[in-house]
């Protein structure tokens, strides 16, 4: 230690210790129990060491989307979903339709080629999936030449 340096005894947070400025026991919220060489002209001596935070507890809640990230809004009726997943193509198109219904807050949606691409589908798979969903009685589709179809999500009888 150089000239002018002081030795300070720092105690662990929340422990009782003796302070030379106060002749009685006082609560010292410093750092770990150690000697710190203090140079009055060194600004590094004024920096505090970061406290260790306890590890985050795992929660039982389902993961949530981040701000600005897309998500599928529910609830999706179980009977509707069970009938939609009978065919793999219709299941993938069903996710697109429910995403659009939640985003637009409407059961009538207009799926575009970009919407299908967002879910990794081609427009041909989208058209085939709409046909299968329509045959299953889950959607009503109005098609117009040269435009995207207008799809209405229909109610199904609840399962018991």
Domain ranges of the chain: 6-46, 78-153
Does 149 score more than 90 pLDDT? yes
What pLDDT score does 55 carry? 65
Task: Classify domain 78-153 at the CATH topology level.
Answer: Arc Repressor Mutant, subunit A (1.10.10)
What pLDDT score does 28 carry? 44
Does 153 score more than 60 pLDDT? yes
Rg (CA), the chain: 32
Q: Are 159 and 120 in contact (CB under 8 A)?
A: no
* d(C-alpha 113, C-alpha 98), whole Å: 16
Dig out the tokens for 112 from the structure. 């575009």
54 vs 43, which has greater pLDDT? Answer: 43
* d(C-alpha 99, C-alpha 3), whole Å: 71
């Amino acid at each position: 230690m150089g000239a002018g340096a002081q030795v300070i005894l720092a105690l662990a947070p929340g422990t009782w210790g003796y302070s030379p400025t106060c002749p009685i026991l006082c609560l010292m919220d410093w750092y770990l129990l150690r000697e710190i060489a203090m140079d009055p002209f060194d600004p590094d001596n004024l920096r505090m060491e970061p406290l260790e935070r306890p590890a985050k507890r795992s929660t039982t809640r389902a993961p949530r989307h981040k701000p600005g990230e897309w998500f599928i809004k529910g609830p999706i009726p179980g009977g509707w979903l069970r009938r939609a997943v009978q065919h793999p193509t219709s299941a993938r198109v069903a996710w697109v339709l429910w995403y659009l219904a939640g985003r637009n807050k409407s059961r009538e949606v207009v799926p575009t080629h970009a919407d299908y691409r967002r879910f990794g589908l081609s427009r041909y798979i989208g058209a085939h999936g709409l046909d299968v969903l329509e045959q299953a009685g889950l959607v009503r589709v109005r098609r117009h030449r040269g435009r995207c179809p207008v799809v209405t999500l229909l109610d199904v009888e609840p399962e018991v």
